[in-house]
Amino acid sequence: MDKFFIRGGNRLVGTIRVSGAKNSALPCMAAAILTEDEVTLENIPQVWDIATERRLLTSMGAEVELGHGSADHRTAISCRSLSDPVAKYEIVKTMRASSLVLGPLLARAGMARVAMPGGCAIGGRPIDLHIKGLEKMGATILQEHGYLEARAEKLRGAHLVFDKITVTGTEDLLMAAVLAEGETVMENCAREPEVTDLAALLCAMGARIEGAGSAVIKVHGVASLHGAHYRINPDRIEAGTFLIAGAITAGDLVVADCNPEHLAAVITVLQNAGALIDIIAPDAVRVRASGQLTAGDISTEEYPGFPTDMQAQYMALATQAEGVSLIKENIFENRFMHVQELVRMGANIKVDGRTAAVRGPSKLSAAAVMCSDLRASASLVLAALVADGESILDRVYHMDRGYERFEEKLQGVGAQIQRMGNVFASNEVEGTAG
Ligand code: UD1
């Protein structure tokens, strides 16, 4: 298993580029199920979750071609034949977003068999709202042997009101609605840019959608969709992580190839912490910090609020800020696994229910720490960048799920970070043999 070795203390200076959004790429790849034609997507990040989605689509009979060389972020997907509309447990268990194929499979093939996702490190993550919406559109869904068996000869437009805002739930039902008969009105929808990205692709494929990006989305079902060529938006969570990397290291970083509009909540929080932020181009943000940061409270919310996917990274920053920062996690019930690892590095953090109180600044000291999920890993990298000495991060495969060439990008702006593959595993094997 790969590890990161990170020596703290360097200011990050220079330009760092953001990849395409993983959370847009996943539903957009699933959208290819809706047509027999080829869908070509540009700016697809090369991360594990994308490789998993590719595996999922090919296991159903799709052809997924990845670009090479200068086109290595292009993916062409052809779902002409969907011989096996099943999302197998072996794949779903490694990536919960696999449940995104439920809506499009039902719409296209009239049936779907999708393994029920279990819990995950950050909480229960049910998909009851996906199921409820599809049933309202006329699907019959049975649960058996850990699988959902869904059938619908023809989905019908419906009036859907989400009890709770769900990102992939909105995306899943949107993909079902575009081929349903008649009009679907969806209320209390997620307004995340990833939903807007998916809707833009679906419109390019011939769908009729109004209101994506707002709480109410209207869809006029069409008989069929055609192929399209579409470029995925930049990853706002990767961009936000880099902004924090610049601020926490008292650096001077240009975060390029991003969409500053999608970063508004994160930018405001960083400005309140004392970082200087300039939007220097329509796709670039510069962050500078002096080394004196101020504590500030955050509360995670659905977009356009402060993203839950940035909570762990902000906590690393809060350990370096003067005063007490209260961090409230409203979206997931168990998203504080990074806390104990940060405490092992010398942070002063107390958790009470869904709120963590971080008292700073703490002098962090390097330690061997364990990554527990994607964003928790990013938080530990950020902490290690300012810790005294060399930290070793284990289980960086969590990071590889969603950050593309993270260590290379950070090296390019002056971080001392190295990836080592299997060093300890091979030592252990040798040790055993000896
Ligand atoms: C997506 C993102 C994830 C992000 C999250 C919240 C992808 C692939 N992942 O996850 O990175 O952290 O949004 O911004 O886009 N819920 C239910 N029933 C449902 C669905 C959700 O109760 O049927 C609850 C969840 O338990 C959670 C909340 O709704 O408490 C939000 O979850 P949701 O927006 O669905 O998260 P994901 O779409 O899985």
Residues facing residue 186 across a β-bridge: 160, 217
Distance 152 CA to ligand 1 centre (A): 25
The residue nearest atom 31 of ligand 1, judged by CA position, is 166
Name the residue of 143, 167, 173 whose CB sits within 8 Å of the most ligand 1 atoms, as the mutation to test its pocket: 167
List the catalytic residue out of 28, 79, 120, 189: 120
Radius of gyration of the chain (CA): 22
Distance 332 CA to ligand 1 centre (A): 8
154-181 per-position pLDDT tens digit: 999 999 999 999 999 999 999 999 999 9
Residue with structure tokens 């093939």? Answer: 109
Distance 166 CA to ligand 1 centre (A): 5
186-202 per-position pLDDT tens digit: 999 999 999 999 999 99
Residue ranges and CATH numbers for the domains of the chain are 3-19+234-420 (3.65.10.10), 22-231 (3.65.10.10)
- Considering only 112-126, 271-285, 368-382, which range has the smallest mean pLDDT? 112-126
The residue nearest atom 3 of ligand 1, judged by CA position, is 309
Look at residue 434 and tell me whether its pLDDT is greater than 80.
no
Active site annotation includes 120 = yes
Provide the pLDDT for residue 426. 39
Provide the pLDDT for residue 93. 85
Atom of ligand 1 nearest to the CA of 127: 23
Nearest C-alpha neighbor of 178 from the set 110, 114, 224, 131: 224
42-52 per-position pLDDT tens digit: 999 999 999 99
Q: What is the C-alpha to C-alpha distance for residues 396 and 379, in angstroms, rounded to an integer?
A: 12
pLDDT confidence bin for 383, thresholds 50/70/90? very high
Residue with structure tokens 């019930």? Answer: 333
The residue nearest atom 12 of ligand 1, judged by CA position, is 309
Q: What is the C-alpha to C-alpha distance for residues 154 and 174, in angstroms, rounded to an integer?
A: 15
**Which ranges of 80-140 does DSSP label H, i.e. alpha helix?**
89-92, 102-109, 128-136
pLDDT confidence bin for 433, thresholds 50/70/90? very low
Atom of ligand 1 nearest to the CA of 123: 26
Averaged pLDDT score across all residues of the chain: 94
pLDDT confidence bin for 425, thresholds 50/70/90? very low
For residues 358-382, give the mean pLDDT.
96
For residues 370-391, give the mean pLDDT.
96
Ligand 1 pocket (Cβ < 6 Å) reads 23, 26, 97, 123-130, 164, 166-169, 194, 308-309, 331-332
Provide the pLDDT for residue 369. 96
291-344 per-position pLDDT tens digit: 899 999 999 999 999 999 999 999 999 999 999 999 999 999 889 999 999 999
Q: Which residue has the higher pLDDT, 72 or 123?
A: 72
212-224 per-position pLDDT tens digit: 999 999 999 999 9
In this prediction, what percent of the chain has a pLDDT beyond 70? 95
Distance 331 CA to ligand 1 centre (A): 8
